Amino acid sequence: VIKCKAAVAWGAGKPLSIEEVEVAPPKAHEVRIKVVATAVCHTDAYTLSGADPEGCFPVILGHEGAGIVESVGEGVTKVKKGDTVIPLYIPQCGECKFCKNPKTNLCQKIRITQGKGVMPDGTSRFTCKGKQIYHFMGTSTFSEYTVVADISVAKIDAAAPLDKVCLLGCGISTGYGAAVNTAKVEPGSTCAVFGLGGVGLAVIMGCKIAGASRIIGIDINKDKYAKAKEFGATECISPQDSKKPIQEVLVEMTDGGVDYSFECIGNVGVMRAALEACHKGWGVSVIVGVAASGQEISTRPFQLVTGRTWKGTAFGGWKSVDNVPKLVTEYMSKKIKVDEFVTHTLPFDKINEAFELMHSGK
C-alpha cells in the first residue's frame, strides 16, 4: 500500500481537500501509476457541483493526467513498470462489439463499474481516514498515485513532457477529433465554433489542420478572441453584439450558413443555435459540450428535413489505446499544438485555485 497526497472531494459543492490517502496495490489486469501532472476540466467541476447523476462522494476526481507505471497486477501485458502513460477515461478493450466496430470509440467493457466509481471487480483502491474513497471516470488523476484498469491506459513516448501531454487525456483530443473524425471537416469549408475554452480552441486547431478556409469563433468573453485567432480562427463574434439570434447573424455572414458548427459549452440553447447556423442541404453540427443532467435539445424538425445533420462526439471519436500515442507523436513532431493550451501551472496543493481560474475563464 502506498501512502500519498490526493485532492479528495468529500461532498458536492465543497472545495477539494488535500489529504493523505492509501492507494492499494493493483489487482489482476490493473495498473498503478505515479501521476506526474494533471489538468482540470469542466467535467470535474460538473461532478463536484453535484449536478452529475453519476457523481458519488467521497471521490478523487481528475481525468486529464500523465505519469509513470509504478507497478502492474497479474496478467498485465501491454505496459510494465517504468513505462510513460496517459490514463484513459474511455478505455479500449479490443474485444467488445463497440471496440470491434470502426464507427465508434465507446468501449463498454467496464462502463457500469466505472460509472459507479469502482474498479471492474466492484471495489475501490483508495481509502482515507478509514473510509472508502470512490474512483472517478476510471482515472482519478487528482492523486499522486492512482490505480486504473489495464484497458484504460495508453503507453506513450517516454520523451514527451508530461505536464503538457496530460491534456491529450481529454480536452485537446476531444476538440481536435470532433473536427477531423466526427465532422470530417473538408478543405475550403466554413466552420463556426461556439465556446472558446480549451476544447473550442482544439476544435479550431482541427478545422485549420483539415483545411477550413473560414473559422468563426463565438464567445461572449472577448478576452478569448486573441487566443482563438492564434489557433486559426479567422474572425470572432459575440452573440451579445446583435439584437438578432446568433444563428441568424451567422447565416447572413456566410451566405446561407456554415458547413460545420461545433457546440463546446454544454448549453442546450446554444446547441440549437449551432444547428440552425448550419447551411441547408449539407450543414453538419457537432455537440461536444456536456449538458447538465435532465436537459433536452430541441429544434424544428424542418431543420433536419431540409438537410442538416446533428451529431455528437465523445473523446473526439478516437479509439483511445490506439490513438493517444499517435496524438503524442503528432505533438512531438509539431503537427498539433499542446503547449499553447497551458495558461497556468500550479503546485498540487493549489488545485482549488486552478478551479477558480477555470471558472473565471482565465
Structure-block grid coordinates of residue 321: 489505446
What CA–CA distance (Å, rounded) separates 51 from 294? 10
Residue with cell 478556409: 213
Angle between helices 42-49 and 351-359 (to 10 degrees): 100
- Chain centroid, CA 234 distance in Å: 24
Under DSSP, the state recorded for 169 is G
Q: What is the DSSP letter of 180?
A: I
Alpha helices per DSSP H over 189-235:
198-209, 225-231
Cell of 233: 480562427
Give, for all 362 residues of the chain, the pLDDT tens digit: 999 999 999 999 999 999 999 999 999 999 999 999 999 999 999 999 998 888 999 999 999 999 999 999 999 999 999 999 999 999 999 999 999 999 999 999 999 999 999 999 999 999 999 999 999 999 999 999 999 999 999 999 999 999 999 999 999 999 999 999 999 999 999 999 999 999 999 999 999 999 999 999 999 999 999 999 999 999 999 999 999 999 999 999 999 999 999 999 999 999 999 999 999 999 999 999 999 888 999 999 999 999 999 999 999 999 999 999 999 999 999 999 999 999 999 999 999 999 999 999 88
- How many other CB atoms are there within 10 angstroms of residue 342's CB atom? 14
**What structural domains and CATH numbers belong to the chain?**
2-169+319-360 (3.90.180.10), 174-313 (3.40.50.720)
> How would you classify the pairing of strands 214-218 and 190-194?
parallel
How many CB atoms are closer than 10 A to CB 102? Answer: 7
Question: CA torsion angle for 310, 312, 318, 321 (degrees, to 10)?
Answer: -150
Lookup result for grid cell 447556423: 277
Q: Is the pTM value of this prediction over 0.85?
A: yes
